[in-house]
Structure 1
Amino acid sequence: MGGINAFVMTAQQGSFTAAAERLGLTKSAVGKSVARLEERLGLTLFQRSTRRLSLTPDGERYLDSCLSALEILEQAEAELTSHITTPSGRLRIDLPAAYGRKRILPLLLDMAQQYPDLNLTVTFSERFVDLIEEGIDLVVRIGELADSSGLVARKLTAQKLVICASPAYLKRFGTPETPEELQKHQCIVGFRRGQPISWLLKQQSGEITRYTPPPTHELSDGDAMLSAVLAGCGLSQLPLWLVGEDLRQGKICEVLHGHSGGEMPIHALWPKNRQMLPKIRHVVDMLVDARLKGALD
C-alpha cells in the first residue's frame, strides 16, 4: 500500500518533491517507494527527465486502476465496520515519550480495561512516522505541524513552557534577569534529529521568538532533562505538565517569569483516507474528553 500511495500522490502532484511534502516523507523515500513498485510490476510508470515528470501510458492505466481500487477498499471498510459500535481489534498508536507515558498511556490502559476486545500496540517516539507505511492508526505529536495534508489533525491542548533551575544551581550561579544573561549560564536543551531544540521566549511586545541557548548538555528525553535540572546541572525550558509538582514542592524554581508563556500545540493525527474506525473514534473522543477535564495539561 505504501508504494501505491506514493505512486498515486506523485501522479496527482506531478513531482516527487510535491508528493513528499504532501505525504510528510523525504523526496528520496517517495522515489524509492515508486521505484520498488515499478520493479515489482515490471513496468515504467513515470517518464522521468531533468525538468518534468509525466505518466507513461502504463502509468495512466495503473493510476485509474489504483484510484478505483482505493475507492472500493474505502467503501468495503466502511460497510464491514458499520455494525461495530465498540472498539475492538489491534490499535496501533505512537506517542511522544515523556508526555505519552505520563498523560496518554494511563487513559489508554483504562480504555483497554473497559473494552476487552481491544488490543494495544503502543510505541513511543518523537520522530516522523508514515502512518500508512508503518500501519499505525493514530499518533499524538507535540509542536507545530508541518504539512499535515493526508492526515486529520485534532488539537488536544497546548503545553505551557517554563524556564527553571534548582535552588542549588541558582545559589551557585545566580538568577538570570534577562534572556541575554542566559549566555553566561549552563543550559540543558532538548536534542532531536541531530539538532538542539530552540526555546520559546515572550518579548515585551508579547511576540514569541525562538532562542537557541548555549547547549551545555543535550538530552533527547524530557524526563532526563528534568533529572538534570533537579541535579543542579543547569537551566532548562520544560513543559509545566512535567515540572508542575516539583515547582510546587520547591525542588526547582521558575526564572525569567516575564519571558515565559511560550506554548506548543499537541495534536492527535490519523490518516485522512482511513475509515474512522470505532477504535480510533473512541480514542479521539476519550482524549477530547480528557482535555475538557484538564487531564492532558
Structure 2
Amino acid sequence: MNKLQAMEVFVQVVDAGGFTRAAENMKLPKATVSTLIQSLETALAVKLLNRTTRRVSVTADGAAYYERCLQILSDVRDAEDSVFRNRQSPSGRLRVDAPTGLASEVVIPALPEFFKLYPDIRLELGCSDRQVDLVEEGVDCAIRGGRRLTDSRLVAKRVGTMHYVTCASPAYLERRGFPQHPNDLAEHHCVNYFSARTGRMFDWYFERDGQRVQVALSSHIAVSDSYAYTAAGLAGLGVVQMADFLMAPMIEDGRFVRILEGWTNEPLPIHVVYPENRHLSAKVRVFVDWVTGLFAHHPTMH
C-alpha cells in the first residue's frame, strides 16, 4: 500500500461523502478506492468510516485521522512547492572552494553572468591552493584538479581538463640557454611546486612520439601557491611548468617563453566535488552545471 496515496484517497472520500464521487474526482476505479481504504483501516487497526448503502460517515477515530491527514498532505505540498521554487530560482548562501589561480583567472571573471542567472545566490568563494576538508569546514562544493580523488566521503563530477606548458622568462633563457630535451632540465634551475597539505614535491612528466619522460627536479626554491609560482618564474629563478590558462596571457605578452615544444604534458582532470551524504541542493546543482559549461567553452580547459 502507498500510504500517502491512501491518505489522499481517504481525505477525498470524506470530502466527497462517498466512494463513487471520490473515485470520479481522483480518476481512479471505485474498487481501487475501496481497497485502499480497507488497507488503511487494516494497517491502523481502526475503523475510519461507517458505510451504508446510501452514505458514508466518519467515525471518531476517522475524524481525528482526517485532521492529521490534512496537515500531512499540506506539508507534503509545501515541501514540493518549496523544492520547485528553489529549482526555478535557487537562493541562499553557497560556499565554494577553488584553487587561487583557477578562481582568479577563470571563475571570477565569469561570475557576472552567473549572478545574472541566479541573483538570489550569495556566493562565498574560498581561494586557496590548500585542499580544504569539505565536511569539517562546511563547504558545499569545491573545484579540484586530480587524477585520483582519495576522499571516499566525496562525490566527484568531471567538469574540465587542465593542460600544462613549460616556460621560462626571457632573462633566464638568455642567461642559461634553451633546454632541448626534458633530461636537460637536470642542468637547469627549476621552480618546484609542493603540496600545501602533504609537503610532497611534484615531478614533471613529458611525452613525445610514444616516449615518456619523468623528471624529478632539484631546485633553489619551491612554493605552494600558483601566483607565488609564476612570480618566481617571472623573477628569473628558473623554469616553470604551470597551467595553460594561467600562462597563456604572459606568453602572449612576452613575459614568458614556451620551451620544449613538441613535448606534451599529461593533462589534469578537473572535478567539482561535494559530500556524498549531503543533499545536492538546487544552488549547488546550478553552480556545478554552470562551471561545467564555463570550462567547456574556455579555450584551454576542455
TM-score scaled by structure 1? 0.67
1:293 aligned partner: 297
1:148 and 1:195 map into 2 onto residues whose CA distance is 18
Q: How does 1:235-274 map onto structure 2 within 5 Å?
A: 235-274=239-278
Unpaired runs of 5+ in structure 1?
Answer: 1-74
Partner of 1:84: 86
How far 1:240 moved relative to its partner?
0.8
Structure 2 counterpart of 1:101, from 77, 99, 104: 104
CA 1:147/1:228 → structure 2, altered by over 3 Å: closer, same or farther? closer
Identity %: 33
Q: What are the within-5 Å matches in structure 2 for residues 1-297 of structure 1?
A: 81-85=83-87, 86-192=89-195, 193-207=198-212, 209-294=213-298, 297=301
**C-alpha contact 1:188 1:236 (8 A) present in aligned 2:** yes
Unaligned 5+ runs, structure 2: 1-75
How far is the alpha carbon of 1:116 from its aligned partner? Answer: 3.4
Larger radius of gyration: 2
Aligned equivalents of 2:85 and 2:171: distance in 1? 60
| Root-mean-square deviation over aligned CA pairs | 2.5
Measure the CA separation in 2 of the matches of 1:124 and 1:249. 26
Aligned residues: 222
- Relative distance call for 1:246 and 1:159 in structure 2 (3 A) is same
Amino acid at match of 2:227: D
Compute the displacement of 1:296 (Å).
6.4
After superposition, the C-alpha distances for 1:64-88 in whole angstroms (9 at most, x for unaligned) are: xxxxxxxxxxx9xx85534422221
After TM superposition, give the deviation of residue 217 of structure 1 in Å.
1.3
Question: Residues 133 and 109 of structure 1: is their aligned pair in 2 closer, same or farther, counting only changes over 3 Å?
Answer: farther
Which amino acid counterpart does residue 199 of structure 1 have in structure 2? W
Q: Normalized against structure 2, the TM-score is what?
A: 0.66
**Mapped partners of 2:241, 2:125: distance in 1:** 27
With over 3 angstroms needed to count, the CA separation of the structure-2 counterparts of 1:272 and 1:296, relative to structure 1, is farther
